Amino acid sequence: MPYSEQTVQSVRPWSDKTFSFTLSRPQDFSFENGEFVTIGLKREGKLLARAYSIVSTADRDHLEFLSIHVPEGPLTSELARIRPGDSVWVNSKTTGTLTLNHVLPGRVVYMLSTGTGLAPFISLIRDPALYARFEQVVLVHSVRTVAELAYRDEIEAFDQPQLHYVPTVTREAFPTPERGADLFRSGALSQRLGLPSPDPELDRVMICGNPAMTRELTHHLKDVGWSLTNHRGLGNFTTEVAFVMNHE
């Protein structure tokens, strides 16, 4: 059976729209940092499941996830009620295009996220292998409200000089009110950090978040000479298309 029943260990609300939770990890469950897996709840004998990026790293004995809460969403409205001791079903198969194997090593890697699209990047920035492959790591997280800046304290406390964290908030007063996608496209992001302008020969981009932002940045990058990683080989930018499934 591809799904196994796992136990909720902890739940952490971030805002009225977002929360994270940890589960027990199935035996023989293997994955690469940055991948996603399908998880779900059983209701009236039926499994309701969606794809979720794994926040925790592959060397931990639990699985951690970050979720949006859509009040009418068939799955997230139920997930938002889980408590320690409850059951969540986890698929045995993981996949995803936001792993270190999906972009070439380089000078700077830009991780551009919105909302719960932050999840795979938390897994990656917790992985020492990331810093061996790139000289500098830029993590941009764009949200509407300050409360939605999940993991902010942990990221800001990272003792990692190669990591540059850029939170942006678009609907409340905040030092950086711009959308992360706009900062990247205009060149303001690299300027602000004192980094050279993004160069497809040297730098890499990883994108995860709302579908409109992903499409917009994909078109922009292709227009200015970047190549998207696909099944034929490694490019200099990659996106997570499965993330759009995690909105209900």
Q: How many helices (H) and strands (E) does the chain have?
A: 7, 11
Q: Where are the beta strands (DSSP E) in 27-154?
A: 36-43, 46-53, 62-68, 87-95, 106-114, 134-143
DSSP 234: -
pLDDT for 208 = 96
Element (H, E) at 20: strand 18-24
For the stretch 32-62, pLDDT in tens is 999 999 999 999 889 999 999 999 999 999 9
User: What SS3 class is residue 13?
Assistant: strand
For the stretch 127-185, pLDDT in tens is 999 999 999 999 999 999 999 999 999 999 999 999 999 999 999 999 999 999 999 99
pLDDT for 88 = 98
For the stretch 56-106, pLDDT in tens is 999 999 999 999 999 998 999 999 999 999 999 999 999 999 999 999 999
Residue 245 confidence class, pLDDT cut points 50, 70, 90: very low
The domain 100-245 having CATH identifier 3.40.50.800: the answer here is no
Average pLDDT over residues 215-229: 96
| Residues of each domain in the chain carrying CATH 2.40.30.10 | 3-94
| Residues of each domain in the chain carrying CATH 3.40.50.80 | 100-245
Query: What is the pTM assigned to this prediction?
Result: 0.95
Which range, of 4-18, 86-100, 127-141, 230-244, averages the lowest pLDDT? 230-244
The domain 3-94 having CATH identifier 2.40.30.10: the answer here is yes
pLDDT for 248 = 53
Percent share of the chain, pLDDT over 90: 91
pLDDT higher than 50, residue 240: yes
d(CA 121, CA 208): 9
Question: What is the residue-averaged pLDDT of the chain?
Answer: 94
- The answer to whether 26 and 77 have CB atoms below 8 angstroms apart is no
pLDDT for 229 = 93
